[in-house]
């Protein structure tokens, strides 16, 4: 679905080629950005990966995502803006989401497994209106219940926290970062990273200040994920809702440190001029 508007307030039109995340963080596998025409040109059913050589060896198109569940323009988020504008974004109503186009890659397939020690990070730029005061919305994941196998990273509006959840078919392991979660009626960024071998998770939310918590010990499982990885919910559950927006989502296969994360933040804040 497409909504073209002739102007996005006072935000200037993006001109020229902008640097991508693989220029500052070599572990990036997937970079999706609503403001870059090579990722989304303003029409079509694909939100395309910008990383030419993903760090995990997957081909670039292996991380392309489809609007909705297929190419039939159903359950599609709405693109708002003009291709190339730094103010462009995706808007949502209940049930709208993206799905990885060619199925789970090994990274996404193994991310929840206790038998594969994984390092991972994801960065999200999103907007929460003051009118949304409750609910849990999944940014990325392939499971949402204890009966499933997989993972999700979500924002919990009513609980004022971000959380990462690993499901093993009967229970979940949860890692929380609580308090001071996000700004209302404003754009937010959050970067989350974890290492199973270290047993630690790191968060950066609207700041370059790292917050570190213990990673919830994964429940034992070597089973495949219950669903194909999706953005904005899994199936029709826990999706972003009316008034919420997303402009960027990326992820990679490393346990980020402050130096790497500062470079990511500087690049994204500069690219999304006018949001922060």
Digit-coded pLDDT (tens) for 182-201: 788 999 999 999 999 999 99
- The pLDDT score that the predictor gives to residue 236 is 72
Burial of 247 (0-12, 13-18, 19+ CB in 10 A): buried
Assess if residue 183 is contained within a domain: yes
- The pLDDT score that the predictor gives to residue 4 is 43
- The pLDDT score that the predictor gives to residue 180 is 67
Assess if residue 151 is contained within a domain: yes
CATH number at residue 153: 2.60.120.200
pTM: 0.92
Residues 6 or more apart whose Cβ sits within 8 Å of residue 147:
167, 169, 170
Assess if residue 214 is contained within a domain: yes
User: Is the pLDDT at 28 greater than 80, yes or no?
Assistant: yes
CB 231 within 8 A of CB 114: no
195-209: average pLDDT: 96
CB 225 within 8 A of CB 143: yes
- The pLDDT score that the predictor gives to residue 1 is 52
- The pLDDT score that the predictor gives to residue 164 is 97
- The pLDDT score that the predictor gives to residue 178 is 86
Strands 2-3 and 78-80, sheet pairing? parallel
Predicted confidence band of residue 88 (pLDDT cuts 50, 70, 90): very high
Token pair for residue 56? 């995990």
Predicted confidence band of residue 94 (pLDDT cuts 50, 70, 90): confident
Assess if residue 75 is contained within a domain: yes
CA dist list (Å): 123 to 126, 160, 246: 10, 18, 11
User: Is the pLDDT at 83 greater than 60, yes or no?
Assistant: yes
User: Is the pLDDT at 263 greater than 60, yes or no?
Assistant: yes
207-222: average pLDDT: 96
User: Is the pLDDT at 2 greater than 60, yes or no?
Assistant: no
Residue-averaged pLDDT of the chain: 91
User: Is the pLDDT at 8 greater than 50, yes or no?
Assistant: no
Predicted confidence band of residue 114 (pLDDT cuts 50, 70, 90): very high
- The pLDDT score that the predictor gives to residue 58 is 98
- The pLDDT score that the predictor gives to residue 15 is 39
- The pLDDT score that the predictor gives to residue 179 is 77
* Structural domain count, the chain: 1
> Of 134 and 108, which is predicted with more confidence?
108
User: Is the pLDDT at 9 greater than 60, yes or no?
Assistant: no
User: Is the pLDDT at 252 greater than 80, yes or no?
Assistant: yes
Assess if residue 89 is contained within a domain: yes
Assess if residue 6 is contained within a domain: no
Assess if residue 104 is contained within a domain: yes
45-64: average pLDDT: 98
**Using CA atoms, how far apart are residues 115 and 151, in angstroms rounded to an integer?**
14
Assess if residue 61 is contained within a domain: yes
- The pLDDT score that the predictor gives to residue 129 is 93
**Using CA atoms, how far apart are residues 220 and 185, in angstroms rounded to an integer?**
40
Q: What is the CA radius of gyration of the chain?
A: 17
Instruction: Tell me the residue range of the domain where 59 lies.
Output: 22-271
Predicted confidence band of residue 33 (pLDDT cuts 50, 70, 90): very high
């Amino acid at each position: 679905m497409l909504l073209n508007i002739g102007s996005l307030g006072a935000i200037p039109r993006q001109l020229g080629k902008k640097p991508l995340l693989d220029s500052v963080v070599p572990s990036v596998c997937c970079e999706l950005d609503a403001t870059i025409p090579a990722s989304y040109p303003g029409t079509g059913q694909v939100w395309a990966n910008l990383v030419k050589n993903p760090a995990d060896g997957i081909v670039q198109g292996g991380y392309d995502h489809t609007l909705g569940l297929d190419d039939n323009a159903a359950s599609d988020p709405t693109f708002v803006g003009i291709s190339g504008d730094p103010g462009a974004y995706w808007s949502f109503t209940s049930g709208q989401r993206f799905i990885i186009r060619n199925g789970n890659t090994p990274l996404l397939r193994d991310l929840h497994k206790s038998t594969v020690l994984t390092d991972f990070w994801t960065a999200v730029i999103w907007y929460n209106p003051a009118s949304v005061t409750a609910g849990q919305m999944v940014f990325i994941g392939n499971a949402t219940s204890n009966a499933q196998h997989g993972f999700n990273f979500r924002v919990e509006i009513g609980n004022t926290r971000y959380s990462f959840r690993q499901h093993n078919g009967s229970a979940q392991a949860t890692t929380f970062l609580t308090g001071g979660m996000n700004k209302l009626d404003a754009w937010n960024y959050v970067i989350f990273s974890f290492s199973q071998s270290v047993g630690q998770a790191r968060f950066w939310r609207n700041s370059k200040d790292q917050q570190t918590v213990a990673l919830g010990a994964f429940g034992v499982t070597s089973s495949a994920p219950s669903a194909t990885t999706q953005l904005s919910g899994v199936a029709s559950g826990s999706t972003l809702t009316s008034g919420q927006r997303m402009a960027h989502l990326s992820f990679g296969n490393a346990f980020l440190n402050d130096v790497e994360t500062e470079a990511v933040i500087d690049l994204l804040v500069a690219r999304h001029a006018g949001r922060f």
